[in-house]
Structure 1
Amino acid sequence: MIYEWFQNITFIWPENFIFMATIPLLVWQYLQKDKTGRGVIMASSVNYKVPPTFKTRFRHLPFILRLLVIALLITALARPQHQQQMTRSEGEGIDIMLAMDVSGSMLTQDVKPRRFTVAKEVAVDFVKKRPTDRIGLVIFSGEAFTKVPLTFDKSTLLQQLEDLKVMDGGYIEPGTLIGEGLATAVNRIRKGNSKTKVIILLTDGKEDAPPTRIIDPQMALEIAKANGVRVYCIGLGVSEFTEEQMASGVRNFLDEDLLKKIAGETGGRYYHAVDKNSLQSIYSQIDKLEKTKVEIVHYKQVEEMFLPLVLAALALLFLEIVLRYTVFKGFP
């Protein structure tokens, strides 16, 4: 921390450091004077030795203090400043709601390693690239609910994405409710203040509704259009399967006609992803289409540092004068 603080110190007039050359001259002059001006006491015995005192041990202290005073004043003349570079992003972000299919078919391994794993990883990368936007997460299977409402808190959203699991039975109804997933996402995003509202809906199947369904895809589409929400639909899964995949029960139930209709009538686009690279490319295209206009403002915070140096020099000078005329006072 101290090292980083010193890294931000700059000198406005560094040419004044040339006066530091006087310090070696003062040291040389002092040593010469000390040799010629030292007192001598004649003793009759060569074994006689005067015990050292505080005054003799630290007799150079006033001169050292004087050098420190000179060094501090020269440094102050160089006008040191502590500068802190800062940036601030300005601009209006957009509201984005991710609507992700978490049905059991998302565990299919035609998209390596699994459809669901790839969908999560690419979504995480997309969120990290949108620092100024509010983003939320809706998941759907045989039911649909909000996992993360629209938020600027990217750390929470990323954690929820990474912890996301396929809802294959258990406490949630099996199935694929594309309509209710879309309607839930629209209901969340329509309350935002942003002028631009976008939903990215990802699924690998078609509408597979349990008897408890309330909203069908057509009704969800009308709700999205009424609220001015643009929907980008992504179908995930390979189009053609190998004999081995067919034998293991892998099927493609993707309803591309429905996804194209939703995207087309809301002003979005439909994409088909067959592997991780193609899904990354799709998210990259959406990222470019829905780019946020952000103005980056750079500014400096400057703090003058010469005053503390001057005060420290005056304190040391006062201490040097006191010591020179009290403890280290010499005889005339």
Structure 2
Amino acid sequence: MTDAPSTEPSGLLGAAAIRRLAAELDIRPTKQWGQNFVVDANTVRRIVRLAGVGEDDVAVEVGPGLGSLTLALLPEVSRVVAVEVDPALAGRLPATVAEFAPDLTGRLDVVHADALTVTTLPATPTALVANLPYNVSVPVLLRFLELFPSIERVLVMVQLEVAERLCAAPGSKVYGVPSVKAAWYGRARLVGTVGRSVFWPAPNVDSGLVEIVRHDTPRGDDEMRRTVFRVVDAAFAQRRKTLRAALSGLAGGGPAAEAALVAADIDPRTRGEQLDVDAFIRLAAHLRPHL
């Protein structure tokens, strides 16, 4: 893939159209909302292709911005639900779709809301496909996987460092809370990288494309998930500590933490970064009486 902005294919936004729309709205991308607009049509087409969505899918897109990815998604799915916090961008998106893809306007729903507070959507999503705002990418991803179990597949663009954490395996230096929590919901893979020059403004970091395919069978109910996530948070709160020490506060003391670890067939001297999600599930089951 080339990082240079492409010419503007039919129905998609190129660099010139992005800047025109931004000028019309007097918009300057803000760090507050983690805005970096994609100005390369090849990149959004690549995201849609990797997402593997089809005509039966309802794709939820968080942070559609000026509509680059939205316009690439609309021809491929039955519906796009675009969640946008910026009122100017949320208000302009339907007109942008009407201008560039007039036959597809009926497939778009725009939700003007903060993705971290939204609780319902106008259609049931089957896929999350988004260039996520970098400053809230992990919380948004985990929230949508929690709230909408109908989401079977995820393809998101995030900061490369975050992508590597989400997809890391136990024992890796970057394995941590996001890695375990993503694994609770599905199998995460880094399926590509994206250079800085496809964005406006260009960020200071490269980006990664993360695919998550949800497990066919849930690992547990909501109560179990909350318990497991509490254990995960405690295990990684101080990475240098053994699990016996890290979990003593949660368990009500070192002896109780050690007993739970031994019962879960885990060496109490182990550290959190050595456990996979299944081990955390076993451990949480034994710690549950203490929580």
Higher RCO (Cα < 8 Å, 6 or more apart) = 1
Normalising by structure 2, we get a TM-score of 0.29
Normalising by structure 1, we get a TM-score of 0.26
| Pair member with larger Rg | 1
